[in-house]
Homo-oligomer: A and B are copies of this chain.
Amino acid sequence: MPVLAAGLEREMASLYIALVHYPVLNRIGATIASAVTNLDLHDLARSCRTFGVPVCYIVTPLKDQQALTHRLTSHWINGKGGELLPERREALKILKVVEDISSAREDILEKTGKLPVVWTSTARKEPGSMPHAQARLLLEREDGPFLLLFGTGWGLAPTVFEEADAVLDPIAGVNGYNHLSVRSAVSILMDRLLGNRNAQGE
Contacts and interface: CB of A to CB of B under 8 A. Distances in A.
Interface stretch (A14-22, A103-111, A128-136): A128-136
Interface string A175-200: 11111110111111001100111011
A188 B197 CA distance: 11
Nearest to A7: B175
Interface in A138-183: 169-181, 183
Given A183-B184, A191-B171, A201-B170, A177 B87 contact: yes
Interface residues of A, number: 52
Copies in the complex: 2
Interface stretch (A47-55, A60-68, A74-82): A47-55
Contacts of A175: 11, 52
Nearest to A169: B200
A43 interface: yes
Contacts of A132: 197
A135 to B, nearest CB: 12
Contacts of A43: 181, 183-184
A173 B124 contact: no
Among all A-B residue pairs, the 4 with the closest Cβ atoms: A170-B201, A172-B199, A50-B173, A184-B187
Interface of A: 11-12, 27, 39, 42-43, 46-47, 49-52, 84, 87-88, 90-91, 123-125, 129, 131-133, 169-181, 183-188, 191-192, 195-197, 199-202
